[in-house]
Structure 1
C-alpha cells in the first residue's frame, strides 16, 4: 500500500480533454477499505491551491492519472482544507459536485465530526483520511524546476579510405643515337719523276697488311635509383554545421482572483 501511495504522489493528473491539470499533492484513503479514494491536485496561482478529485473511474498509466473531468470542472470543485480529515458533509458535497453516489459509505458515519489524521497514526474513526503528500501547512513558498534539452556534440573517427603504395616493373622501348667511327682505306698515289731516284731498285715480291677498325654499339643495362616516394598522413581541420531538435519546458501561471506583486521577470517571460 505504501508503494502504491508513493507512486500516486509521483503522478500528474490529466483531464478528460487530455490537458494536464497538475501534480498530485496528497492522497486520502478510505478508512474502511484502506484503498486510495481521493487525491488532491495542485491548481491555481503557482499551484498553491489543492483541489480534491475522486479516483473512482480514473485510469493510471505510468506517471499519469486520467480522470473523467476537464480542467475547469476540477478547478470549480468545493474549496476544502486539505490539512485535515474529510467530514461526511464535505465528502458528500464532493460526491454531489462530481455527480457520484457513494454507495459504499457505511451509515454509522452520519454526523461524524471532522478530525485531523496524521500519517503515522492509524485511523480511529471511519471516514477518508490524509495518507501522504507534500508537506502540509506552510504553502507560502513554492518552487518548480524548469528543464530544457541541449545538444551534446562529440566526435568519432571512422575509416574514409585506404592508400596502398605498390611497385611494379614496366618494359618500354628506348631509342638513343650513338656516334660511331670506323676506319677506311685511303690510297694515295705519288708519281716519281726521273732524277728523283738515286738508288737502284730491284724487282721483288712483297706483302704487307693493315688492320682496319670500326666502332659498334654495345648495349648493357644497369639499375640505379631515380626517385624516392614517401607517403604519410596529416590531419586537416574543417568545420561542419550540426543541426538537431531540443525540447524545453515552459511554465504557465494560472491565477485565481487578484494576484499582487509577482516580482521581476526575465526578458521574454510571460
Structure 2
C-alpha cells in the first residue's frame, strides 16, 4: 500500500508514473488524499506535448519502484481518463466518473468507489464549487442531468505543436589497418666476366715473357652485384575529424482535433 512517506519521496524526487508495459506515462503532478482517512488515493500525471494536461490515476493498486510509481494501466487508458480540473479537491461526482472509467481496467468497482469520500490534493486545501443562485432565473432545464445554469459551454481542442530534441543516430571515426602490395622498379648493377685477348707486341712482350715458358696458372677475379634493400617507415599523411552542421527543413504535422458544436434543435424565433 502506498503510504504518505512514499508520497513525500515521489513529490520531492519529481518521479514518473510507469504503465503496465514499462512505458513512461508522465511525471507525478499532485497527490490527492482521502478527506476522512488522510490516505493517498489519487495521483495526477502530467501528460501531453508540454506536460500541460494532468490525468487522474487511482493508486490503491500502485507500487513504488525507486523514485517512480508503477500503476496497472496503460498510457492510453490514463490519457483517455475523464478530463477533470486538478483544482485541489475532488467532489464525489468527479470521483465517480474516474472510478467508472478505471472499473474496466483493474481499478475498484464503481460501487466501491462511490462509498468513500472525495479527496483533496496533498499539497493544497480542499475547495468546493458553488453555483450562483442569486442571479436571474434559469431559462429551460437540462435534459442530460441536473439544471446548473442557463447556458452550456462549447469547447474545442487546439493543436499546440512544439519541438523536442531526440537522439537519432551516432557517427564515429574508427581507424583500422589493411595490407596491400606496392610495386616499385629500381635500377641495379652487377659485374660479369669478359675475356679480352690481345696480340703480342713490342709494348707487352716483356710482360708476356715474364715467367716460365711453359707452366700451369690460374687467375681469379671477384664479381659484385647490387641487390634491392627494402625498409618501411610510418609517416603521417592527413588529419581526419568529425564535425556537425545543422540542416533546417519544414515538416508538416497532421493531427485530428475534436470540436464541439451546439445544435439549436429547431428552436423557433418569434418576433413581435
TM-score, normalised via structure 1 length: 0.43
Larger Rg: 1
- Structure ranking higher on relative contact order (CA contacts 8 Å, 6+ apart): 1
